[in-house]
C-alpha cells in the first residue's frame, strides 16, 4: 500500500457506510411535494478546512523525516530548511483577519504533533509559558470562528494508548496516515480517537468533530463513522458529531454532507454522525509549504469559472481544504495571500453566501435530513430530533401571515421581508413561485400556521 499521505484523501468514497443522506431523506423525512427544505437563510454555506495545524510546531518540519523513513523515495523535501515553528504572531494575524472578514471553518490542533510533545503538558523546545500562551490565543482568537479538531494523535507514528509511546516499527502498518486504521474495529478506532480527544479536553479545547490524517480509515469507512460518533459522544457528549475524511473535486459529484447512522429519532436520545466533504484540493500552498498554489483553480479572476463556482452554483456547501504550513508558507504567507484573493473574488461574485463552521453545517444538514415534515391543511408540522437556527423551507404556494408555535409556547407571527436577501430567523418572503419561511427550528414539535 505504497500511497502518499495526501493521495489517500481522495481514495475510497462512502463505501459501505450505512444510511446515507439520500436514503435518510426517504426513510425519515417524508417531505410533502408542496414543501422543500432550503439551505440556511436560503444561502449557500462556505467554509475552510485547515489541516496540519497545532500549537507552535510546524508539522511539515517534524513530519517529513518520519514520512521519509517509511517511504524514502517519495519524501525528498529538505525539511531542515523549513522553520520549526509557526509563530503565535501569525496565528493572531490569521485569526483576526478571518474574524474581520467573516471566514469560518475548522482548525486542527494535533495533540502530540509529530511526536514532539503534548499540547496538554509540554513540548520540548518551547517553554511551558509559550505553550500556555498559544493555547490561550487559540481559545481567544480561533475558537469563536473555527471548530477545533484533533487530527488523530501524532499525525505520524501510531501511539500505543496504554503507554503513550509510539510503536517501535516505522512501517506503514504503524503510521496513522496509512495502513494501521484500515483493519481496526469501530471500538478500536473509537478508543484511539478518544485518546486524542481527551488530550485536547485536558488542554481546555472543546471538540464537536475530528479530522483524519492522510489515509486514516479510507478503506474502513463504516467503522470510522461509527467510531467518530461514539468517541465524540463519550468524551465531549457531542450532540451531532462530525468528521472530515474525504474531498471530491470532480465536477458534478456531490459534496453535500452525509448524515449517517441515525437512530432513536423519536426518542429522547437521537443520534447521528455527519461526514463533511471538502470540494477542493489544497490549492493554497500544499501540505509542506513548498508548492505555491493558485486562486484561479477555485475561482478565476474573471469570476466565471473554478471549482468553487461549480459547487456554489449547484447550491451545495463549498468547503475548501488547505494545510497550515502552506498558509504560512515558511513566513512568506503565500497560501494566506491566495485565501485573501479567493474571499475577495467570492464577495465580488456572490451576495448569497454564508460562512459557517463545520459543526454549524453538520447541524443544519442533520436537521434537514432527519426532520419529519407533515402538511395538514393550513398546519405545517415539523418534528425535529435536532434544533437548527435559520431553518428555511419553501412552500410551493402563497401563504399569508404565517406564524410559528414551538411546543406549548404561544403563537408568534413571522415578519414579512420585501427582499429575499433580508431573510433571517422569524421572517418570510413571497413571490410568484411561492413562500419562503425562515425560523429557528427547535428540538421537538414545531408548528407553522399558514
Q: 24 near 370, Cβ under 8 Å?
A: yes
Claim to verify: residue 287 and residue 343 sit in the same structural domain: yes
Q: 185 near 179, Cβ under 8 Å?
A: no
Note whether residue 1 is domain-resident: no
Claim to verify: residue 353 and residue 380 sit in the same structural domain: no
Relative orientation angle of helices 221-236 and 186-202, to the nearest 10 degrees: 40
* Model confidence pLDDT, tens digit, residues 369-390: 999 999 999 999 999 999 999 9
Q: 190 near 227, Cβ under 8 Å?
A: yes
The phi, psi pair for 306, rounded to 5°, reads 125, 160
Q: 215 near 175, Cβ under 8 Å?
A: no
Nearest-angstrom CA–CA distance, 317 and 28: 22
Nearest-angstrom CA–CA distance, 148 and 358: 10
Claim to verify: residue 391 and residue 343 sit in the same structural domain: no
pLDDT at 190: 98
Note whether residue 299 is domain-resident: yes
Boundary (domain end) residue, out of 305, 336, 363: 363
Can you give the residue range of the structural domain that contains 423?
371-449
Note whether residue 223 is domain-resident: yes
Average pLDDT, the chain: 93
* Model confidence pLDDT, tens digit, residues 83-105: 999 999 999 999 999 999 999 99
pTM of structure:
0.93
Question: What is residue 422's three-state secondary structure?
Answer: helix
- Under the banding of pLDDT at 50, 70 and 90, the label for residue 409 is confident
Note whether residue 442 is domain-resident: yes
CA 431 to chain CA centroid, Å, is 34
Claim to verify: residue 274 and residue 332 sit in the same structural domain: yes
Nearest-angstrom CA–CA distance, 198 and 372: 35
Quick check: 294 pLDDT over 70? yes
Nearest-angstrom CA–CA distance, 356 and 319: 9
Claim to verify: residue 379 and residue 263 sit in the same structural domain: no
Question: What is residue 125's three-state secondary structure?
Answer: coil
Q: Which of 29-38, 141-150, 152-161, 427-436 has the lowest mean pLDDT?
A: 29-38
Nearest-angstrom CA–CA distance, 330 and 326: 8
What percent of the chain has a predicted confidence (pLDDT) above 70?
Answer: 93
The phi, psi pair for 230, rounded to 5°, reads -70, -45
Nearest-angstrom CA–CA distance, 255 and 315: 10
Boundary (domain end) residue, out of 325, 343, 363: 363
Note whether residue 330 is domain-resident: yes
pLDDT at 24: 40
Nearest-angstrom CA–CA distance, 314 and 155: 34
- For 195, the grid coordinates are 485518546
pLDDT at 407: 85
Q: 77 near 348, Cβ under 8 Å?
A: no
Note whether residue 117 is domain-resident: yes
* Model confidence pLDDT, tens digit, residues 427-446: 999 999 999 999 999 999 99
pLDDT at 31: 53
Count the Cβ atoms, other than its own, within 10 Å of residue 248.
17
Nearest-angstrom CA–CA distance, 317 and 387: 19
pLDDT at 29: 44
Claim to verify: residue 21 and residue 162 sit in the same structural domain: yes
* Model confidence pLDDT, tens digit, residues 18-60: 433 333 443 344 455 789 999 999 999 999 999 999 999 999 9
Nearest-angstrom CA–CA distance, 328 and 323: 9
Nearest-angstrom CA–CA distance, 126 and 123: 6
Q: 60 near 81, Cβ under 8 Å?
A: no
Q: Which of 13-27, 152-166, 392-406 has the lowest mean pLDDT?
A: 13-27
- For 340, the grid coordinates are 485573501
Run of H or E including 89: helix 88-101
Count the Cβ atoms, other than its own, within 10 Å of residue 55.
29
Range 261-285 average pLDDT = 97
* Model confidence pLDDT, tens digit, residues 117-135: 999 999 999 999 999 999 9
Note whether residue 2 is domain-resident: no
pLDDT at 400: 87
Claim to verify: residue 203 and residue 222 sit in the same structural domain: yes
Question: What is residue 392's three-state secondary structure?
Answer: strand
Claim to verify: residue 177 and residue 258 sit in the same structural domain: yes
Instruction: Provide DSSP, 336-380.
Output: HHHHHHHHHHHHHH-SSEEE--HHHHHHHHHHHHH-EEEEETTEE
Q: 283 near 312, Cβ under 8 Å?
A: no
Claim to verify: residue 325 and residue 395 sit in the same structural domain: no
Q: Which residue has the higher pLDDT, 32 or 161?
A: 161
Claim to verify: residue 214 and residue 303 sit in the same structural domain: yes
Count the Cβ atoms, other than its own, within 10 Å of residue 443.
17
Claim to verify: residue 311 and residue 375 sit in the same structural domain: no
Question: What is residue 45's three-state secondary structure?
Answer: strand
Claim to verify: residue 252 and residue 382 sit in the same structural domain: no
CATH of the domain at 269: 3.20.20.370
- For 193, the grid coordinates are 480517537
SS3 content of the chain, % helix, strand, coil (to 5): 35, 25, 45
- Under the banding of pLDDT at 50, 70 and 90, the label for residue 399 is confident
pLDDT at 17: 36
What's the number of domains the chain is made of?
2
Q: 240 near 276, Cβ under 8 Å?
A: no
Boundary (domain end) residue, out of 296, 328, 363: 363
Instruction: Provide DSSP, 259-303.
Output: EEEEE-TTSSS-EEEEEEEE-S---SSTTTS-S---GGGTS-TTS
Note whether residue 436 is domain-resident: yes
Amino acid at each position: 500500500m505504497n500511497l502518499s499521505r495526501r493521495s489517500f484523501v481522495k481514495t475510497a468514497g462512502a463505501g459501505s457506510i450505512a444510511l446515507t443522506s439520500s436514503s435518510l431523506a426517504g426513510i425519515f423525512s417524508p417531505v410533502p411535494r408542496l414543501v422543500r427544505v432550503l439551505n440556511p437563510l436560503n444561502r449557500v454555506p462556505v467554509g475552510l478546512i485547515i489541516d496540519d495545524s497545532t500549537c507552535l510546531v510546524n508539522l511539515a518540519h517534524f513530519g517529513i523525516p518520519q514520512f521519509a523513513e517509511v517511504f524514502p523515495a517519495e519524501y525528498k523535501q529538505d525539511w531542515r530548511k523549513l522553520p520549526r515553528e509557526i509563530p503565535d504572531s501569525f496565528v493572531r494575524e490569521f485569526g483576526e483577519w478571518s474574524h474581520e472578514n467573516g471566514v469560518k471553518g475548522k482548525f486542527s490542533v494535533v495533540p502530540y504533533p509529530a511526536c514532539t510533545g503534548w499540547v496538554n503538558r509540554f513540548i520540548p523546545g518551547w517553554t511551558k509559558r509559550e505553550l500556555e500562551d498559544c493555547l490561550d490565543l487559540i481559545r481567544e482568537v480561533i475558537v469563536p470562528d473555527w471548530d477545533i479538531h484533533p487530527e488523530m494523535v501524532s499525525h505520524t507514528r501510531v501511539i500505543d494508548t496504554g503507554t503513550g509511546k509510539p510503536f517501535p516499527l516505522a512501517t506503514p502498518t504503524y503510521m496513522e496516515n496509512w495502513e494501521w486504521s484500515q483493519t481496526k474495529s469501530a471500538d478500536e478506532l473509537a478508543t484511539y480517537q478518544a485518546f486524542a480527544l481527551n488530550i485536547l479536553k485536558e488542554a481546555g479545547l472543546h471538540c464537536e468533530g475530528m479530522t483524519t490524517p492522510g489515509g486514516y480509515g479510507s478503506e474502513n469507512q463504516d467503522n470510522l463513522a461509527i467510531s467518530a460518533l461514539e468517541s465524540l459522544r463519550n468524551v465531549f457528549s457531542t450532540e451531532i458529531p462530525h468528521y472530515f475524511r474525504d474531498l471530491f473535486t470532480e465536477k458534478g459529484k456531490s459534496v453535500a454532507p452525509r448524515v449517517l447512522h441515525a437512530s432513536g429519532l423519536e426518542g429522547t436520545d437521537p443520534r447521528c454522525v455527519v461526514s463533511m466533504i471538502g470540494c477542493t484540493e489544497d490549492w493554497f500552498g500544499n501540505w509542506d509549504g513548498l508548492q505555491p498554489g493558485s486562486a484561479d483553480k477555485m475561482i478565476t479572476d474573471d469570476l466565471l469559472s473554478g471549482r468553487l463556482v461549480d459547487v456554489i452554483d449547484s447550491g451545495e456547501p463549498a468547503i475548501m481544504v488547505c494545510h497550515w504550513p502552506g498558509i504560512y508558507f515558511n513566513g512568506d504567507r503565500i497560501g494566506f495571500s491566495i485565501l485573501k484573493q479567493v474571499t475577495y473574488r467570492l464577495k465580488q461574485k456572490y451576495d448569497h453566501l454564508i460562512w459557517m463552521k463545520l459543526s454549524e453545517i453538520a447541524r443544519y444538514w442533520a436537521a434537514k435530513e432527519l426532520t419529519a415534515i407533515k402538511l395538514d391543511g393550513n398546519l405545517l408540522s415539523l418534528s425535529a430530533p435536532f434544533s437548527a437556527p435559520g431553518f428555511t423551507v419553501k412552500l410551493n404556494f402563497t401563504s399569508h401571515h404565517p406564524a410559528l408555535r414551538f411546543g406549548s409556547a404561544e403563537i408568534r407571527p413571522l415578519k414579512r421581508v420585501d427582499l429575499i436577501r433580508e431573510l433571517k430567523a422569524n421572517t418570510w418572503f413571497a413571490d410568484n413561485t411561492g413562500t419562503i419561511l425562515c425560523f429557528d427550528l427547535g428540538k421537538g414539535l414545531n408548528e407553522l400556521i399558514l
